[in-house]
Amino acid sequence: MKRIPKLEIKERHRRLLAMIKENKGRLIAAGACSLMIAGATTVMGYLIKPVIDEIFVNKDTTGLMLFPLLVIVVFLIKGLGRYGQEYFMSYVGEDIIRRLRNQLYDRIQDLPLAFFQKAQTGVLMSRITNDVNILKAMVSTAVTATLRDTSSILGLTVVIFYLNWRMALIAFIVLPVAFFPVFELGRRVRRVSTGCQEAMGELNAFLYETLSGNKIVKAFGMESHEKQRFFAKTHRLFNLEIKGVIIRALSSPIMEFVGGLGIAFVIWYGGWEVIQEKTTPGTFISFLTCVMLLYDPVKKLSHLNNAIQQGLAAADRVYDVIETPADIHDPIQPVPIRSGPHTVAFDRVHFSYDENPVLQGIDLTVNHGQVLALVGMSGGGKTTLVNLIPRFFDVTSGRITIDGVDIRDYSVAALRSEIAVVTQEPILFNESVRYNIAYGNPAASEADIVAAAKAAYANDFISGFPKGYDTLIGELGGRLSGGEKQRICIARALLKDAPILVLDEATSSLDTEAEALVQKALDNLMQGRTTFVIAHRLSTVAKADHIVVLVAGRIVEQGTHDTLLARHGEYAKLYAMQYAPSKGLPLP
Structure confidence by residue, pLDDT tens digits, 170-207: 666 655 565 566 566 666 766 777 777 777 777 777 77
Higher pLDDT, 295 or 369: 369
Query: Above 80 in pLDDT, residue 308?
Result: no
| Mean pLDDT of all residues in 496-516 | 73
Residue 433 has pLDDT above 80, yes or no: yes
What pLDDT band is residue 346 in, cutting at 50, 70 and 90?
A: very high
Supply the pLDDT for residue 189: 67
**For 32-89, how does the pLDDT look when each residue is reduced to its tens digit (9 = 90+)?**
888 888 788 777 777 777 777 666 666 667 766 777 788 788 888 888 988 888 888 8
HEC string of 556-576? EEEECHHHHHHHCCHHHHHHH
Q: Note the pLDDT of residue 348.
A: 93
φ/ψ of 549, rounded to 5, equals -105, 120
Pair 167, 270: CB distance under 8 Å: yes
Within 10 A of 337 (CB to CB), how many other CB atoms are there?
Answer: 19
Residues in the chain: 588
**What pLDDT band is residue 286 in, cutting at 50, 70 and 90?**
confident
Q: Give the integer Cα–Cα distance in Å for 580 and 575.
A: 8
| Closest to 506 in 3D by CA, of 399, 400, 419, 427 | 427
Laid out side by side, the sheet with 344-353 consists of 356-366, 344-353, 397-402, 405-406
b/e map 538-564, b = 16+ CB within 10 Å: bebbeebebbbbbeebebebbbebeeb
How is 524-566 classified by DSSP, letter by letter? HHHTTSEEEEE-SSGGGTTT-SEEEEEETTEEEEEE-HHHHHH
What contacts 462, CB < 8 A, 6 or more positions away?
A: 433, 453, 468, 469, 471
Q: Among 64-68, 214-218, 403-407, 572-576, which stretch is predicted with the lowest mean pLDDT? A: 214-218
* Residues 126-145: tens digit of each pLDDT: 778 778 877 777 776 776 67
Average pLDDT over residues 307-334: 80
- b/e 23-41 (16+ beta carbons within 10 angstroms → b): beebbebbbebbbbbbbbb
For residues 57, 63, 64, 70, the Cα torsion angle rounded to the nearest 10 degrees is -130
Residue 512 has pLDDT above 80, yes or no: no
Mean pLDDT of the residues in the chain: 78
125: exposed, middle or buried (C-beta count within 10 Å: 0-12, 13-18, 19+)?
A: middle
Residue 482 · residue 426 · CB < 8 Å: yes
Nearest to 100 by CA among 141, 135, 137: 135
Question: Both ends of the chain: CA-CA distance in Å?
Answer: 57
The whole-number pLDDT of residue 516 equals 72
Q: pLDDT tens digits for 248-283?
A: 667 666 666 766 666 677 777 777 777 777 777 777
**Nearest alpha-carbon partner for 315 in 96, 532, 91:** 96
CA distance 104 to 124: 9
Q: How far, CA to CA in Å, does 43 sit from each of 38, 46, 154, 290, 330?
A: 9, 5, 13, 10, 62
| CA quadruple 145, 147, 153, 159: dihedral sign | negative
Give bridge partners of residue 347 from the DSSP assignment.
399
Per-domain residue ranges of the chain: 9-322
* pLDDT tens-digit readout, 492-503: 888 888 888 888
Give the span between the Cα atoms of 41 and 259, in whole angstroms. Answer: 19
Q: Give 175's strand partners.
A: none
pLDDT attached to residue 202: 77
**Strand stretches in 286-368, DSSP E:** 344-353, 356-366
In this structure, how many other beta carbons lie within 10 angstroms of the beta carbon of residue 336? 9
pLDDT of residue 581: 47
What pTM does this model have? 0.68
Q: Tell me the β-bridge partners of 531.
A: 371, 501
Taking the C-alpha atoms of residue 142 and residue 302, their distance in angstroms, rounded to an integer, is 11
pLDDT computed for residue 588 by the predictor: 45
Does domain 9-322 fall under CATH 3.40.30.10? My reply is: no
